[in-house]
């Protein structure tokens, strides 16, 4: 047989082998995409799915995945190879778990994830918190809303006690290697860049943007539309609309670019800038102390009509005066309440003129013991959310 004929036969054999592989590949691909008319869902033979697990229609579970007995997968969920769902975990419709993702834990309590969420490669969501106060056997909870993207190696923990829960809202982008600790409350439309680390009980409102490698101390509160510069350490509350940065973060002005992108009007931004300048950049030394400047801006005829300016002033006053310290001391104070040791309502705290805008919650009745600062902090955070 001539060498040329041998080469032609070899090439022909390779072509037939290639067509065979292509047909097998297409066949396997069709099997991985369930058709509702023939099969309500698709489970790869190499996956381990407990018979008591609830699998929604159109769901697809890849090889080497595990799904626990109490898990519930919504319609059209997709688990990529090597992803895992454990414990009492609920996934909404159209959720995607990429390779290595771990969702839920075999603990009392529950992890609830809404619809259209993506859990990235090797992310860990809904596991036991890293808080030594957590007692084995206590229920712990995590609730995540809709349309969130949680990227690779991120970690989000459940609450530290049954009376609280870790909460994440809707439309958040949580980039790679971020950490959200126990009992945090995250709002909507936030962007956390890589290595954003939140300690326990942190509250982040809406439309907050963090740059990379920032840390936020426990119990801190970050207001809406704030921007935190890269490499910052946040040890105090961040008021709304502000831009902060630094090793121990300091105010750097208003987040004007963020406000513009989110549709704030020119009038609103000018009002906020005017308020900022009057408070932090007084034109003369006779403008009084900080508290006097804050009160003057709050009573300003024009600024008082701008809701965003008033919200910012209230938020900033909460930060500057040390909200927890002032309220706690006022509750213990006897001289400013005409002999009444424990005022019935926070609204009676007249020395703080801004409290009426912030608090409408009764804490202690007459004769009751004033809460400790730690307990008071929990109540405040609960009210703010």
Catalytically active residues, by annotation: 182-183, 200
Q: Which two tokens stand for residue 37?
A: 């008319």
- Sign of the CA dihedral running 39, 45, 50, 56: negative
Report the distance separating Cα 296 and Cα 282, nearest Å. Answer: 12
Helix axis angle for 290-298 and 307-320, nearest 10°, is 160
Q: Are 134 and 107 in contact (CB under 8 A)?
A: no
- In terms of DSSP H, where are the helices of the chain? 3-32, 256-261, 266-280, 290-298, 307-320, 323-332, 355-358, 373-384
Q: Which two tokens stand for residue 210?
A: 């963090």
CA distance readout (Å), 59 to 24, 31, 120, 145, 211: 22, 12, 18, 20, 36
Residue 95 CB coordination number (10 Å): 28
3-state secondary structure of 208: coil
- In terms of DSSP H, where are the helices of 238-303? 256-261, 266-280, 290-298
Report the distance separating Cα 339 and Cα 329, nearest Å. Answer: 15
Question: Which one-letter DSSP state was computed for residue 158?
Answer: -
Task: Give the side-chain half-sphere CA count within 13 A for 56.
Answer: 17
Report the distance separating Cα 162 and Cα 290, nearest Å. Answer: 41
Nearest to 152 by CA among 126, 121, 127: 121
3-state secondary structure of 38: coil
């Amino acid at each position: 047989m001539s060498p040329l004929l041998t080469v032609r036969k070899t090439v022909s054999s390779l072509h037939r082998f290639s067509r065979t592989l292509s047909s097998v590949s297409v066949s396997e691909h069709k099997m991985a995409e369930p058709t509702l008319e023939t099969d309500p869902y698709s489970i790869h033979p190499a996956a381990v799915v407990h018979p008591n697990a609830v699998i929604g229609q159109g769901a697809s579970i890849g090889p080497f995945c595990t799904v626990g007995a109490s898990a519930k997968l919504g319609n059209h969920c997709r688990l990529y190879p090597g992803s895992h769902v454990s414990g009492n975990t609920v996934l909404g419709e159209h959720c995607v778990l990429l390779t290595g993702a771990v969702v839920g834990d075999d603990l009392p309590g529950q992890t609830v994830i809404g619809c259209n969420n993506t859990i990235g490669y090797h992310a860990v969501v809904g596991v036991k918190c890293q808080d030594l106060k957590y007692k084995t056997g206590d229920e712990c909870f995590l609730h995540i809303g809709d349309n969130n993207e949680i990227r690779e190696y991120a970690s989000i923990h459940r609450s530290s006690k049954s009376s609280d829960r870790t909460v994440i809202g809707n439309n958040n982008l949580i980039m790679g290697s971020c950490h959200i600790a126990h009992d945090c409350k995250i709002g909507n439309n936030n962007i956390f860049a890589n290595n954003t680390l939140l300690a326990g009980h942190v509250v982040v409102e809406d439309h907050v943007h963090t740059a990379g490698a920032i840390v936020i101390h426990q119990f801190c509160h970050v207001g809406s539309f704030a921007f935190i510069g890269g490499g910052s350490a946040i040890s105090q509350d961040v008021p709304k609309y502000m831009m902060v940065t630094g090793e121990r973060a300091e105010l750097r002005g208003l987040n004007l670019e963020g406000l513009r992108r989110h549709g704030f009007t020119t009038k609103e931004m000018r009002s906020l800038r005017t308020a900022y300048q009057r408070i932090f950049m007084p034109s003369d030394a006779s403008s009084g102390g900080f508290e006097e400047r804050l009160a003057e801006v709050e009573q300003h005829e024009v600024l008082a009509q701008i809701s965003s300016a008033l919200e910012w002033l209230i938020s900033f006053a909460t930060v500057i005066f040390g909200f927890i310290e002032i309220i706690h001391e006022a509750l213990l104070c006897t001289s400013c309440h005409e002999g009444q040791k424990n005022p019935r309502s926070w609204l009676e705290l007249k020395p703080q003129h801004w409290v009426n805008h912030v608090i409408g919650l009764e804490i202690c009745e007459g004769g009751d013991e004033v809460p400790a600062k730690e307990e008071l902090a929990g109540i405040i955070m609960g009210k703010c959310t």
